[in-house]
Structure 1
Amino acid sequence: MKLYFATGTISIAVAVALNEAGVSYDTHQLNFAAGEQRGDGYATINPKGRVPALEVGDTILTETGAILEYVATLAPDLMPTDPVAAAQARGIMYYLASTMHVAHAHGRRANRWADEKASWADMAAKVPQTMTECTAFVEAECLTGPFIFGDTVCVADAYLFVVCSWLTADGVDLTPFPKVRAFLAAMEERPSVQAVRANGTLP
C-alpha cells in the first residue's frame, strides 16, 4: 500500500489509522504549496486533486471516510461490531466530512466557493464561530471519554483527532471543552500518533 498525503491535511487521519491497524505502507508526500496535487502526474492517481489517496495493489481508494472503512476491514477491532455503534461511528465521520472540515476549509480554501477576495475574507472571519459551534457539538455528542467509545479506539477517532488538531489555529478557545482537550491528550499518547510524528507525517 502507498498513502498519498500532505502535511496539515486530513490525510494524516489515514496514516494514524494504518498505524493503529499495524499495517505496513509506503508514503508519497505531495507539495501543496507547489500545486503538485493539481499536476498531471497526480491526476493519474486522484483526478480530484485531493488527499488522501491510498494505493492498494492496482486500485486507488479516495475519500477519507471510505479509506478508513477499508482500514477497519484490515483490523476489525477498529470499528464497533454492534451495528448501531458502527452507524454512530460512521455518522461522526460523515459529520466531519460534510460540516466540520468544510467550515475549516472556508478559512484556507475559500476560493473553492467564491471568486471575490472580499468574500474570502468574510468566510475566513466566520471560521472561529463555526468551528467553535462544531466543537461544542463534538463535546456534547461525540465523545464518551476519552475516545468516541470510551476507552476503545476506532477509525473515527483518527479522523476526529486530525480535525480537532486544527481548532487552535482556527481561533477556537478550547478552555470550555474539557472532553475535547482530554481526547486530544489521549490521542497524543497513542503509539500510532507518536509514530506519524516521528516519521514527519504529522509535524
Structure 2
Amino acid sequence: MLKLYFSPGACAMASHIALEESGALYDAVRIDLKKGEQKTPAYLAINPAGVTPALETERGVITQNAAILGFIAQTRPQQNLAPVGDPFRMARFNAFNGWLGSSLHPAMGRLLFSRPPLEGEARTEAVEAVLVKLQLVEDGLLEGPWVMGDTYTLADGYLMVFERWARGADLLDPGRFAGLNAHLDRVQGRAAVQRVLEAEGLDAV
C-alpha cells in the first residue's frame, strides 16, 4: 500500500488530493512541521531533504509534488487525472507543475514563512514578486476553467494550494484575480478535496 507523509495545509496537500482523487489505497502519515518532526532521524531516513511530501511505494520513496502527481496519474490512467496518452500535453502538465514548485512556491514561501517575518521594503518587494507570478497564471497559464482547459487534472489540486495561501494572506483580490478565485472555489468544491481538507483538519477558505 502507498504511504503519504504530509503536513496539513502545506504543499503536500497537492499529493494528498491526488491520492484521494485517484481512488488508490493509501495511508496518510501526518508530519508536524512546527514540532520539527520532518528533521527527526526516522523521517530523514525516508526523505533526507527533511520536507514533505514523501510517498512510499513498493519500489521506494518518491519526493516532490510534481513527481508524485505524475506517478499517481500514470499508475491510475483510468481516472484521467492527467493527459498520460499525449506526450505533448503530458509535457505541458509536467511543466506547469514544475513551475509551481520552482517559481511560485519559493516566492510565496519567502513572503509568508520567512522567520523573522519580512518587513518594510523587503516585504513590499516580496509581495510584488508573488503578485507578478499570480498574474502570470491568471493571464496566461490557465487554459480554461481548469489548468489544462476543460478537464480537471492533478495540476488543479496543486495550484489550489497556493491559491489558498494567497487568499488567506489577502493577496487574491477578486477584481484582479477573478480566474484564480473562481478556480480555487471550483477545486475546493470537489468531493475528494473536501475529504482531504477534513482529514487535514482544515476548512475551505
TM-score w.r.t. structure 2 length? Answer: 0.88
Matches within 5 A, 1:114-129: 120-121=118-119, 123-129=122-128
Residue 141 of structure 1, CA deviation: 1.5
For 1:154, the equivalent position in structure 2 comes to 153
Q: How many residues align?
A: 197
SS at match of 2:165: coil
Which AA in structure 2 matches 1:136?
Q
Match of 2:94 among 90, 94, 107: 90
For 2:81, the equivalent position in structure 1 comes to 78
Residue 171 of structure 1, CA deviation: 3.9
Rate the CA distance shift 1:190–1:173 in 2: closer, same or farther, 3 A: closer
For 1:99, the equivalent position in structure 2 comes to 103
Worse overlay, 145-154 or 36-45: 145-154
For 1:114, the equivalent position in structure 2 comes to none
- Listed as ranges, the gaps of 5+ residues in structure 1 are 112-116
Distance 2:130 2:149 in 1: 24
For 1:173, the equivalent position in structure 2 comes to 172
Deviations 1:166-200 (A, max 9, x none): 11234413221111111111101211101102223
Residue 103 of structure 1, CA deviation: 0.2
Aligned CA RMSD, in angstroms, stands at 1.9
For 2:142, the equivalent position in structure 1 comes to 143
Worse overlay, 123-132 or 101-110: 123-132
For 2:30, the equivalent position in structure 1 comes to 29
Distance 1:52 1:58 in 2: 17
Matches within 5 A, 1:14-25: 14-25=15-26
Distance 1:74 1:202 in 2: 28
Please tell me whether the aligned partners of residues 55 and 68 of structure 2 are also in contact (alpha carbons under 8 angstroms): yes
Please tell me whether the aligned partners of residues 9 and 202 of structure 2 are also in contact (alpha carbons under 8 angstroms): yes
Distance 2:169 2:125 in 1: 10
Please tell me whether the aligned partners of residues 21 and 78 of structure 1 are also in contact (alpha carbons under 8 angstroms): yes
Residue 135 of structure 1, CA deviation: 0.9
For 1:49, the equivalent position in structure 2 comes to 50
Distance 2:123 2:11 in 1: 19
Distance 2:42 2:200 in 1: 23
Residue 57 of structure 1, CA deviation: 2.2
Deviations 1:26-82 (A, max 9, x none): 111111111111111111111100000011125111111111110011222111132
Distance 1:202 1:151 in 2: 28
Deviations 1:84-110 (A, max 9, x none): 221111111111111100001112444
Percent sequence identity is: 31
For 2:63, the equivalent position in structure 1 comes to 62
Which AA in structure 2 matches 1:4?
Y
Please tell me whether the aligned partners of residues 100 and 159 of structure 2 are also in contact (alpha carbons under 8 angstroms): yes
Residue 24 of structure 1, CA deviation: 1.7
SS at match of 1:166: helix
Runs of 4+ in 1 over 6 A off after TM superposition: none
Which AA in structure 2 matches 1:35?
G
For 1:200, the equivalent position in structure 2 comes to 200
Which AA in structure 1 matches 2:109?
A
Which AA in structure 2 matches 1:83?
P
Which AA in structure 1 matches 2:172?
D
SS at match of 2:5: strand
Rate the CA distance shift 1:109–1:189 in 2: closer, same or farther, 3 A: closer
